[in-house]
């Protein structure tokens, strides 16, 4: 099993550009999450999903959108990138809500 | 309202020493108390977790102590090794409420000197 995979690993965006961060898991987990981690800080929940077709906002959803059309995939969309979105983004999945979370390797995003 | 407070922010320990990291929480509905370990450039990974029906859990050199009345739990690393140098996060959660927010502590950067 590959676990949780994320692409790309690194990306530089210009202000106002858009992009999609990809996340795929092969563990058949219903629950999936997107976090951002700023330098020296903890993880902040952006969005989460409890199953295909069901998503909900986390602590810091502004400027982001998500979709969940399949159990495996949970892409994160950034519209109109801003410097405040410079961060490392982690995708995670779990078998049940709040249970052990399996994290991907992260995407380091810089907006200039 | 800060639901999870982790301390210390950073910790330097000599090889062979004991590292202790604390996590205080406010939500009495939390029923799962994990510690995650994160190495530089990697995603966090579960290190050890405890349920509220026990006061202590030990896995090798790592022990969780849980104090329900004080609403806090701690991670003890015995015989600390340089390879333990990482950032540690607590993430207490309610597994019974699907809409509840998942909150990580701010993290503790542990450095174990050889």
CATH number of the domain where residue A12 is located: 2.60.40.10
Determine whether the interchain pair A58/B34 forms a contact, defined as Cβ–Cβ distance below 8 Å.
no
- By Cβ distance, the residue of B44, B99, B106 closest to A41 is B106
Where does B4-113 sit in CATH, by number? Answer: 2.60.40.10
Within a 13 Å sphere around the CA of B39, how many CA atoms are in the beta-carbon half?
A: 7
B74 within 8 A of B63, measured Cβ to Cβ: no
Residues of A in contact with B104 (CB under 8 A): 35, 42-44
Q: What is residue B37's three-state secondary structure?
A: strand
Report how many domains make up chain A: 1
Average pLDDT of chain A to the nearest whole number: 94
Q: β-pairing, A43-51 with A76-78? A: unpaired
> Phi and psi for A82 in degrees, rounded to 5?
-125, 155
| B29: its two tokens | 């509905």
- The alpha carbon of residue B86 is apart from the nearest alpha carbon of chain A, in Å, by 12
Q: How far apart are CA B42 and CA B99, in angstroms?
A: 28
Are A43 and B104 a contacting pair at CB < 8 A?
yes
Give per-residue pLDDT as tens, A34-49.
Answer: 999 998 888 999 999 9
Q: Using the predicted structure, report yes or no on whether residue A98 has a pLDDT greater than 80.
A: no
Q: Which domain holds residue A65?
A: 4-102
Mapping DSSP to helix (H, G, I), strand (E, B) and coil, where does residue B64 land? strand
Q: Do B43 and A92 touch (CB under 8 A)?
A: yes
Within a domain: A35: yes
Measured distance CA(A48)–CA(B102) in Å, rounded: 10
Asked if the structure places residue A111 within a domain, the reply is no
Which residues from chain B sit within 8 angstroms of residue A35, using beta carbons? 104
pLDDT by residue for chain B (114 residues), tens only, comes to: 458 999 999 999 999 999 999 999 998 989 999 999 999 999 999 999 999 899 999 999 999 999 999 999 999 999 999 999 999 999 998 887 665 567 899 999 999 999
What confidence score (pLDDT) does residue B10 get? 97
For residue B2, the model assigns a pLDDT of 57
Q: Is residue A11 part of a domain?
A: yes
Task: Give the SS3 label for residue A23.
Answer: strand
Judged by phi (left if over 0) then psi (alpha if -120 to 50, else beta), residue A77 lies in: beta
In a domain, A33, yes or no: yes
Angle at B30 between CA B51 and CA A106, to 5 degrees: 90
Q: Of B81, B102, B77, B78, which Cα lies nearest the Cα of B90? A: B102
């Amino acid at each position: 099993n590959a676990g949780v995979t994320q692409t790309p690993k690194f990306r530089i965006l210009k202000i106002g550009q858009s992009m999609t961060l990809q996340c795929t898991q092969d563990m058949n987990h219903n629950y999936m999450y997107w976090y951002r981690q700023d330098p020296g800080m903890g993880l902040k929940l952006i969005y989460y999903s409890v199953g295909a077709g069901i998503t909900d906002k986390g602590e810091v959803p502004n400027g982001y959108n998500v979709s969940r059309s399949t159990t495996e995939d949970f892409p994160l969309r950034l519209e109109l990138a801003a410097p405040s979105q410079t961060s490392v983004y982690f995708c995670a999945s779990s078998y049940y809500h709040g249970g052990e979370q399996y994290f991907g390797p992260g995407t380091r995003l810089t907006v200039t | 309202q800060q639901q999870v407070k982790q301390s210390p922010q950073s910790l330097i320990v000599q090889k062979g020493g004991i590292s202790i990291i604390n996590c205080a929480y406010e939500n009495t509905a939390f029923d799962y108390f994990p510690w995650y370990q994160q190495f530089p450039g990697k995603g966090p990974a579960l290190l050890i977790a405890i349920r509220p029906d026990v006061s202590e859990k030990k896995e090798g050199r790592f022990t969780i102590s849980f104090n329900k009345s004080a609403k806090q739990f701690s991670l003890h690393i015995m015989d600390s090794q340089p390879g333990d140098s990482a950032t540690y996060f607590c993430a207490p959660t309610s597994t019974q409420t699907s809409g509840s927010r998942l909150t990580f502590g701010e993290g503790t950067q542990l450095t174990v000197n050889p």
